[in-house]
A and B are shown apart, each in its own frame.
Chain A
């Protein structure tokens, strides 16, 4: 899908031709807007311009504008992206942008999706620390060089933007599938020495909608804005599940 964006060229008349999805998934439609082209303009800047200068009824979601909060993900020219860190120049084709809400999530209105199914699956995957100590205990000492710590490190910087969830075809085909983000989070916790819920979590991530549904298409890894590899994390869970089937599972 990366090739879709190649061959970017400047807008003809200093104006970007923008199409934005308006309304809901079923009865919505694209509306066209013209936005002045500027240097170092992000896709989020373009959406904000439309909302502030052209049509105040446009609904979209953002918060930090610096790629930390994971709120502003949208589909840009067919590709899921964090819009606050996506320079228009790198994705516009002949000055044209088509901006849609994320795929695989219910559309509330315009560019706003209902993130509830995404976070529900985090919980279904036991994507939370099961603490084994309390605040009185000493801070856990974890060797940064241990294989578990390295495995957790590789996946822990997820910003919950749902770009991977939107990119994943298995999520589209199988609504029960927990998805790359939730499974990636589960994998980091399976490698967290402080966690006491590993057996329970392994059951959760090998349920009907669990890690074994992943076909390793790697769309999640291709599109993750912070460069994580949920595919590798899911493969880790598969290995863990296989070991558990031979009596070598986490306790």
Chain B
């Protein structure tokens, strides 16, 4: 049910996410040292091209990785027709990407 291209893409996005998760978690730990404060976070992220790039890449990697993974789970448990399977995976990818990019836009712009 999963061809070699999707399989490789899921592994590649996993490779991308591994360091991103560490940076993201590390940042959370650093950020809450002086208490959790929205203005402090926004001061770090607003207008920052670096964090914008980081989180856009992170969100896209998550959306692709999760969509492929859920596609396999759905294929193996529900065995839908191929077009239903592919459409579902695309919907998952787009929903995750839109939600994530919207959140990135909210803290960067």
A residues contacting B by CB (< 8 A) are 170, 173-174, 176, 206-210, 212-213, 241-242, 245
The answer on a CB contact under 8 Å between B77 and A213 is no
The answer on a CB contact under 8 Å between A212 and B7 is yes
Q: Which residue of B lies closest to A205 (CB)?
A: B4
A208-B3 contact given A242-B8, A245-B8, CB 8 Å threshold: yes
Complex Cα distance A209/B3, Å? 8
Residues of B within 8 A of A176 (CB): 1
- Of the candidates A174, A210, A212, which one forms a contact with B75 in the assembled complex, judged by CB atoms under 8 Å apart? A174
- Of the candidates A173, A208, A212, A242, which one forms a contact with B76 in the assembled complex, judged by CB atoms under 8 Å apart? A173
Q: Which residue of B lies closest to A172 (CB)?
A: B76
The answer on a CB contact under 8 Å between A208 and B2 is yes
Complex Cα distance A210/B3, Å? 8
Q: Which residue of A lies closest to B77 (CB)?
A: A173
Complex Cα distance A210/B2, Å? 8
Residues of B within 8 A of A208 (CB): 1-3
Count of A-B contacts judged by CB separation below 8 Å: 28
> 9 tightest CB-CB pairs across the interface, nearest first?
A212-B7, A173-B76, A206-B4, A174-B1, A245-B8, A212-B2, A174-B76, A241-B4, A208-B3
Residues of B within 8 A of A206 (CB): 3-4
Residues of A within 8 A of B4 (CB): 206, 210, 212, 241, 245
Complex Cα distance A189/B4, Å? 20
Within 8 A of A (CB), among B44-96: 75-77
Residues of A within 8 A of B1 (CB): 174, 176, 208-209, 213
Pairs A–B under 8 Å by Cβ, sample size 21: A170-B76, A173-B77, A174-B1, A174-B75, A176-B1, A206-B4, A207-B3, A208-B1, A208-B2, A209-B1, A210-B4, A212-B3, A212-B4, A212-B7, A213-B2, A241-B4, A241-B7, A241-B8, A242-B8, A242-B11, A245-B4
Residues of B within 8 A of A210 (CB): 4
Complex Cα distance A210/B8, Å? 13
B87 to chain A, nearest CB (A): 18
Complex Cα distance A130/B106, Å? 59
Within 8 A of A (CB), among B1-48: 1-4, 7-8, 11
Q: Which residue of A lies closest to B76 (CB)?
A: A173
- Given A174-B76, A241-B8, A242-B11, 9 more contacts at CB 8 Å? A170-B76, A173-B76, A207-B3, A208-B1, A208-B2, A212-B3, A241-B4, A241-B7, A242-B8
